Structure 1
Amino acid sequence: MKQKGIFGDIIIQEFEEQYRDNLTAFQLNERQQIYTSLPKDVLDEAISDPHQRANIALNKDDEVVGFFVLHAYYQHEGYDTPNQVVYIRSLSVNEKFQGQGYGTQMMMNLPQYVQQCFPDFNHLYLVVDAENKGAWNVYERAGFMHTATKEEGPIGKERLYYLDLDAKYVSSLKLIPGKSEENYNIHIINLEKDNEKIGFVALEKYSTRVNIAAIEVTASERKSGVAQSALRQLATYIRKHFTSITLIRITLYGEYNELRPMCTNSNFVETVTTENYVIFEKFINY
């Protein structure tokens, strides 16, 4: 049975032959073809290989707006990744539909879709051109973490991104600017899910860093992964709204603070450890 997921305005599903002509007509500009393959050039291999799965994204008019391949057990040249792994390959948005938000919608919902397709796999990876800052901002919003940089890949400098398929992801979570208290350097970020406020993050802003002063989530949503999804998206939000900030810091008090594993799973690094508190940090410009 072919996998299919309905995510708001798009459908992500396994390729079906009725869409072959759409993929034959799929267009990318010359620069994009340096970094990814046209669907027609990889489709037949993906169909014939039992470890690969070709997938498409459809809009509400049943038009093919995106394409990608999920490749189980793949090992990308130059990276040592686990055996029980899935790579996202040949990911692209049809040039005809670029700039309409379809790429972001695809990436925000890919974690849930891949969890459906590969329930026994724990690791998801993708590789992206290091110069494509717009792309890796979207990947980080979706929960991917930058784990390695290769100076000389097949397409030049590239970045490896990782996502834990065992974790929870809230694809509809949005970080929205809230009230700021400039006199106290406090900035509030509202957490919205399906257009409803379900919590907030409070930041203390300094010259080149922000401290996370508080993360609050409504009681009914506390076990759904909202706080961790917010931490994953925070770097992208800060890059957009605070261009001078290079570092996020959070101080946790108590030996069994519940946010500790969330910080680790969101690519924060423990930099100070004492009996009473720990400090986690994450650089956001690299």
Structure 2
Amino acid sequence: MVIKKQFKNITVQPFEEQYRTKLYDFELSERQQIYSSLPKTVLDDAIKDEDRIANIVLNEQNKVIGFFVLHQYYQHEGYDTPKKVVYVRSLSINEKYQGNGYGTKIMMFLPQYVQYLFPEFNHLYLVVDAENKGAWNVYERAGFMHTATKEEGPIGKERLYYLDLDSKYVSSLMLKLNQDDVKYGIHMIDLLKDGQKVGFIGVEQHEERLNITSIEVDQAQRSSGIAQSALRQLSTFVRKYFEGVNVITITLYGERNELDTLCLNSNFVEVESGDDFSIFEKYINY
């Protein structure tokens, strides 16, 4: 029985032979083929390998809009990752359907889909070429964290991204800059879950540095993973709305040190600490 999962207006499922012709008609530009293989070139290898599952993404008209391979136990050359992992490989969106937000939507729901297929696995990885900024912005938006950079990949630098499938992640969370609420140089970034405001992040820009002044989540939502999801998305959001920022900083004082774990799980690094404070940083441009 083929597992088919519907997420809003897309359906994600393992490949079936009835879709082979449509995959063979799958199009990518020459530029995109530098970063990802055409599905027809990797499909049969994936089918023959018991550790790989080829997957397709369909829209409401039953058109094949996306393709990717999930590879369990894979070890990418140059990276030291756990044995019991799943890698996302050969991910691409059919050129005919690009520009409709399908890539972001697939990545937002990918963790749920992986857990259906691999319920015993907790580690999800992917590798992307460092110059492919559009792709890694989407991955960070979906909660993946940049964990390593390899200086010499097939076409240059590579970035390794990781998502802990055990951690809480809110796929419907969106960040929105509140243009009407700027006081004393503090910008408010609203946290929207299913279109409803459930909290905010206050930030203050100082040249290349963006300081987080506050993080607040509605009391009823505090155990749902919203704060961590928001901090994971923040890098991509900042690149888009705060020109020239290279590093995000947050300082925790006294009783707020209970947020240390939140910062660490969101890929911030502690750079300084004292008896009653901790300073965390996260570089967002490499």
TM surpasses 0.5 = yes
**How far apart are the structure 1 equivalents of 2:245 and 2:172?**
26
- 1:197-212 to structure 2, matched below 5 A, reads 197-212=197-212
**How far apart are the structure 2 equivalents of 1:154 and 1:206?**
37
Q: Does the CA-based 8 Å contact 2:143-2:169 persist in structure 1?
A: yes
**Aligned residue identity for 1:120:** E
**How far apart are the structure 1 equivalents of 2:115 and 2:284?**
27
Shift in alpha-carbon separation, 1:242–1:256, aligned structure 2, 3 A: closer
Q: Which residue of 2 aligns with 1:27?
A: 27
Q: Which residue of 1 aligns with 2:75?
A: 75
Shift in alpha-carbon separation, 1:2–1:253, aligned structure 2, 3 A: farther
- 1:135-174 to structure 2, matched below 5 A, reads 135-174=135-174
**How far apart are the structure 1 equivalents of 2:219 and 2:60?**
34
**Aligned residue identity for 2:53:** R
Q: Which runs of 5+ in 2 are unaligned?
A: none
Deviation at 1:165, TM superposition (A): 1.4
**How far apart are the structure 2 equivalents of 1:117 and 1:252?**
39
SS in 1 for 2:197: strand
Q: What is the identity percentage for the equivalent residue pairs of Structure 1 and Structure 2?
A: 65
Q: Which residue of 1 aligns with 2:128?
A: 128
**How far apart are the structure 2 equivalents of 1:29 and 1:207?**
38
**How far apart are the structure 2 equivalents of 1:176 and 1:186?**
15
TM-score, structure 1 normalization: 0.95
**Aligned residue identity for 2:82:** P
**Count of aligned pairs:** 286
Shift in alpha-carbon separation, 1:269–1:254, aligned structure 2, 3 A: same
Deviation at 1:3, TM superposition (A): 2.7
Deviation at 1:256, TM superposition (A): 7.3
SS in 2 for 1:258: helix
Shift in alpha-carbon separation, 1:5–1:253, aligned structure 2, 3 A: farther
**How far apart are the structure 1 equivalents of 2:113 and 2:260?**
27
Q: Does the CA-based 8 Å contact 2:257-2:277 persist in structure 1?
A: no
SS in 1 for 2:146: strand
Runs of 4+ in 1 over 6 A off after TM superposition: none
Deviation at 1:151, TM superposition (A): 1.8
Deviation at 1:219, TM superposition (A): 2.2
Q: Does the CA-based 8 Å contact 1:255-1:277 persist in structure 2?
A: no
**How far apart are the structure 1 equivalents of 2:256 and 2:112?**
29
Q: Which runs of 5+ in 1 are unaligned?
A: none
Deviation at 1:89, TM superposition (A): 0.4
Q: Alpha-carbon deviations, 1:104-151, whole Å to 9, x = none?
A: 111111122112222211211111111111111111111111111122
**Aligned residue identity for 2:119:** P
**How far apart are the structure 1 equivalents of 2:276 and 2:264?**
18
TM-score, structure 2 normalization: 0.95
SS in 1 for 2:280: strand
Matched, 1:114 2:129: no
Q: Alpha-carbon deviations, 1:6-53, whole Å to 9, x = none?
A: 222211111122211111111111122222111111112212211111
> Larger deviation: 140-149 or 250-259?
250-259
**Aligned residue identity for 2:151:** E
**How far apart are the structure 1 equivalents of 2:156 and 2:244?**
28
Q: Which residue of 1 aligns with 2:258?
A: 258
Deviation at 1:255, TM superposition (A): 6.2
**How far apart are the structure 2 equivalents of 1:85 and 1:165?**
10
Q: Which residue of 2 aligns with 1:235?
A: 235
Shift in alpha-carbon separation, 1:173–1:183, aligned structure 2, 3 A: closer
